[in-house]
Amino acid sequence: MALCLCGAPAIALAQVSESSGAAATEGVVVALENDDIVVDLAAKRGAAGGDIVEIWRPLRLKHPVTGKVVTDRFRIGSLRLTQVQGTLSLSRADGKLARAAQVGDVVILRKAKLEPEPKQPASAAKLPPAAPGEPAPPTAAMPGAAPADPETQVVSTLFDGLRGANVTRRVIAYEDYVRKNPEGRYAVVLWEEAAQLRRLLAHDAMGKGQKETALLNFSSPKEALDGVPITLSVELDGPARGAVLHARRAGEVAFRPTPMTGAGPGYFSATLLAEQMRTPGIQFFIEAVTSDGKTHALVGSSDAPKEIEVVPIPQPTPPIRKEATASIWTDYADYNRMKGNDRVWQTEGFVGMRFDEEGLRALRTGFGVFRGVGGSLEELDEQKKSGRKVGLTYGYLEAEGAFSSFTSIIGRAVIGLHDDGVSGGALALVRIGNDKKTNLQIGGEILGGVGLRGITQLELNAFERVPMLFRTEVTNQPAGSAVSRDKVRPNDSSATADTTSVERGEVGGRAIVQIGYRVVPGLVVAGRGSYQGRTIKHAGPGFGGAVTYTW
């Protein structure tokens, strides 16, 4: 049964009282969403798009003299309703507000109260009866009734013009009104009325035994590109004079009709324009038009339209650039007040390639030269023995594997030569943070015949042209292992095996600061300073430098 709108003008009267003046409907601000103010004055409470509402700030204060709680509210401006739904509405400030809107502010919708519609006099002319099978025409506003708002007057005029019109004309008029007034408060109910009348037409055609046009073939794309027009085609079987494609963007109320043009016997097609193809999607349905001008659904319907997801056009991304890096650094560290019996000089260089953010991030290969003099504190400081020479020349292969752009693990395998022959070593670090940004590395190293080293290193890249490095080490290098008398090499040319330290060196700590300067985008030159020691009295300074080039 079609929904009748004979009493549609009375919709405007549903929210007003019988007394004169203005009807005030109160609500509150329930949320703030960017520039929108969400209020609970909506269609169910008589609000419509474009309405102006007052906004008031409630206050609750304690009187400084009487001590009583005083409550009041002050108007801070006006809001304009921009989108009105069933329960909530979006609004924006209409002019400048005295205070910024807050959740809990009171909003008031005031509308003129209309007098109740007087009863129709017995002498009033009666309207002609509706044609068989058609809904009754709406009743026009009676003379002497209170003036309705402009939108109600437009709808009332629409109904007056449809007196005696057939169902097809009514459907066209209702849908045309909705397309012109998609935000009007009558738009939804008029669209529903048009849909009901369409069903009535289809049911009537079937009851008269008219052969219905059948759909032979149609294929709908599941996905389309934003701003790119697409063409839809159907193949029909039956007495079809044509077909109409109805489409709307997601969120719109009314469908936009597009006549489908003939593309051969039984074939019809129409194109959805670029301005209609907007994310997130478009809804449509297709109707056949018979020789007597009536329509029936072929693909989807106004109540259950088909949907096409509209996605943004993929933007080309530049290929991941593989970076190559070459670097060399050198570092001198004295552990015993520049006495020369506990010191290290190490130089290391590498070349490497950086691949991706995740998975195998980088591969590096390099070399190193380690030269040092050391021994135990007892033999060096108390027995005044000469420090022994320690040396290792080595090469290494290093890989960095990343679990994400923020976390990776660095592993290094070392092989080299010292006085007794071939020796090996390893290094392992955990990197927290991206290697191109500020990051922290924690791990350790072992070098055969030289000793152990625990490492914590912070690479600070907050300043583009001045990269910095802060590093601490806990180590027993260079004399990290004991040697026999027959293999010891005295540092002092006058010393013998008996007057040279052969015991393992003690653990000490180092603090290193390195400051770089980016000369050009790929070239960084840095200087470093350090201080290290094994006890308070057994300590000394250090210095070094580094050069890195990336291309």
Specify the pLDDT at position 14: 33
416 and 443 both lie in a single domain: yes
Give buried/exposed letters for 164-203 (b at 16+ CB in 10 A, else e): ebebeebbebbbebbbebbebbbbebbbbbbbbbbbbbbe
Q: What is the CATH number of the domain that holds 259?
A: 2.60.40.10
The end-to-end CA distance of the chain, in Å, is 76
Q: Where is the domain boundary, 112, 146, 170?
A: 112
Distances (CA, A) of 507 to 118, 465, 529: 104, 36, 20
Specify the pLDDT at position 203: 60
Specify the pLDDT at position 407: 96
Residue 493, helix vs strand vs coil? coil
Residue ranges of the chain with pLDDT lower than 70?
1-22, 112-148, 201-212, 238-239, 291-292, 320
- Tally of domains in the chain: 3
331 and 305 both lie in a single domain: no
In a domain, 134, yes or no: no
Specify the pLDDT at position 121: 47
Specify the pLDDT at position 439: 96
304 and 385 both lie in a single domain: no
Specify the pLDDT at position 534: 96
Domain span including residue 60: 17-112
273 and 379 both lie in a single domain: no
237 and 91 both lie in a single domain: no
This prediction's pTM: 0.47
293 and 342 both lie in a single domain: no
Q: How far apart are CA 27 and CA 40, in angstroms?
A: 6
Q: How far apart are CA 274 and CA 154, in angstroms?
A: 33
Write out pLDDT tens, residues 156-199. Answer: 888 888 887 777 788 788 888 887 887 788 888 888 787 777 77
Distances (CA, A) of 318 to 321, 323, 356, 359, 363: 8, 14, 13, 20, 22
Within a 10 A sphere around the Cβ of 106, how many other Cβ atoms?
17
Write out pLDDT tens, residues 89-141. Answer: 999 998 888 889 999 999 999 876 544 544 444 444 444 444 444 444 444 44
353 and 268 both lie in a single domain: no
